[in-house]
Amino acid sequence: MEIQKVLESKLTTDNLAKLTALDNAKLHKFVADAIELCKPESVFVCTDSDEDIATLRQMALDGGGEHKLAMEGHTYHFDGFNDQARDPSRTKYLLDEGKSLGQSLSSTEKQAGTEEVRSFLKDSMKGRTMMVCFWCLGPVNSEFSISCVQITDSPYVAHSESILYRKGYEQFKKIGNSEEFFRFMHTQGELDERGCSVNIENRRIYMDLDNNIVYSTNTQYAGNTVGLKKLALRLAINKSSKEGWLAEHMFIMGVNGPNDRVTYFTGAFPSACGKTSTAMVPGQTIIGDDIAYLRKKGGEVRCVNVEQGIFGIINDVNPDDDPVIYKSLHTPDEVIFSNILVSDQGRPFWMGMGCDTPTTGINYSDRWNAGDTGADGKKLTPSHKNARYTIRISALANRDVNADNPEGVVASGVIYGGRDSDTQVPVEQAFNWTEGIVSKGASIESETTAATLGAQGVRKFNIMSNMDFVAIPLGKYIQNNLDFVDGIDKVPGIFSVNYFLKGKDGNFLNGKLDKTVWLLWAELRVNEDVDAIVTPTGFIPKYEDLARLFKQALNKEYTQEDYVEQFTVRVPELLAKFERVEGIYKEKVEDTPQVVYDTFAAIRERLTAAQAKHGDYISPLELAK
């Protein structure tokens, strides 16, 4: 392949000049290979200019997967009926023969897998424009920065990335002829009359970790196609493991303490478990809601938001529970809604938004009327359970002033969450970093949601809320986290939260905004402002501290009866949980560090001792004596 001739055959003089201004042989070869493979009609190279970014948006509106809504700047997009979540069964790592990441991580032989996915890319862009876009993971001009190039034939994907990620063309110039950048090649494949991908059986998301490249075919759902999101997270986890930093499925937020103090927390939650809503709690500030890079600098843990936008689940976003997000979604600005209901007046609606839903409109199933059923006989919901919104964080009133700080912010605490209806208390602090990583992060079980294909409501093991994205052996991943604080002067506190604890009547024991109090208590703890009660599994709040915080933050009375019901130590359930999780490690994680089993043994010993003394269900008031 004569690279220059291939580029000249499809790029106009202007686009060729934009590409060759980036003097990088590996980049030019990648673009030329994509041209030869996908056979586009033309190629558009997107720089950082406002004009080029505006071109992406217009392409999306001109038959590229988006449509205007009534409010200025707002558009909507529909993925295919069966293309509305990540697809773990068709998401695999490409590994050389004989290599393995362990039985918990899905992979396929590299040569065969590469040939398969490239066969679906072959001739896929005939008659279309190939877009070559440059974005930066992390703030630009930072040691956290990772340069990326995305090739796609979906203007919706390219436009989404322009909202979600920082511009990377000028940043790319700074790497010169370096081969250290991430590459993404995507085709939406054949489309139906609605512009949705047709050949779902040929949906593939394959990742070559050795060469930092991701191939994605026959899909439009952003989790499968927006390369810089979870696909890049997998590449970054592999890269960070080699270089001694962490890439995590975490938000970053500022929690406001006494005397104008701001304390920064990271937090890892499985999808649809409250991660974005936690990062957006009223009265606090947000840096990012989904992916963080963490590095050790000057004896501190510093972290940055990989993204500049939010691809959030919109189901149940309403003015009472999520006022900041709700306001941004009703303000004239650039917003993409996906898989919502669009009324005949061009307004977006979604389930749980706090107002009456129209009885007719268009949605992910096509023309919709209330009561319509699908092929399975079940009623079609007005919007999809995994309907989404895409916005810039800069559009939010509570954006933190350090959101783009190239030095990052100091992480003082780490929070792990999940869906747990019957076991863990609403908030608890681990005794130390090691026990926190093992018992809070590496032991997460969470009920599945609509964000991933498959049955919902199933209790699923999800290490660090990152199970779907870990790109190294799980034992190595745990050890990396354990070792990360070596040399840190003040080690961050580790907390677990559980917003989904239910009472005997089946109802949730907490309101959605109660998470504010759990955050404020964690802020006080890492700054050593309040004492706590010792339980077999960690530190929990004292009643008087929570009562004060509920009154101050939410103007809400918090009864001792509520406190006892929520913070009772449920010994049988906890013993069963750790037995289940330990069994998973013994069965599926060949390289589990011994400290994991030692920690489980210590927790089990403390739980059984407390059980012998106090019984199966232990009131926090009993432990406070």
Residue numbers annotated as active site: 273
SS3 state of residue 214: strand
Q: E strand or H helix at 217, and its extent?
A: strand 213-217
**Distance from C-alpha of 533 to C-alpha of 539, rounded to nearest angstrom:** 5
**Distance from C-alpha of 494 to C-alpha of 471, rounded to nearest angstrom:** 23
Tell me the two tokens of residue 614.
Answer: 């106090």
SS3 state of residue 106: coil
535: Cβ–Cβ under 8 A, 6 or more apart, which residues? 428, 569, 610, 618, 620, 623
**Distance from C-alpha of 465 to C-alpha of 269, rounded to nearest angstrom:** 5
Nearest-5° Cα angle at 279, 278 to 285: 130
**Distance from C-alpha of 463 to C-alpha of 443, rounded to nearest angstrom:** 6
Q: Which of 521, 507, 501 is nearest to 424 (CA)?
A: 501
The neighbouring-strand residues paired with 86 are 452
CB 491 within 8 A of CB 418: no
**Distance from C-alpha of 275 to C-alpha of 96, rounded to nearest angstrom:** 35
Q: E strand or H helix at 132, and its extent?
A: strand 129-137
**Distance from C-alpha of 233 to C-alpha of 248, rounded to nearest angstrom:** 8
The neighbouring-strand residues paired with 360 are 369
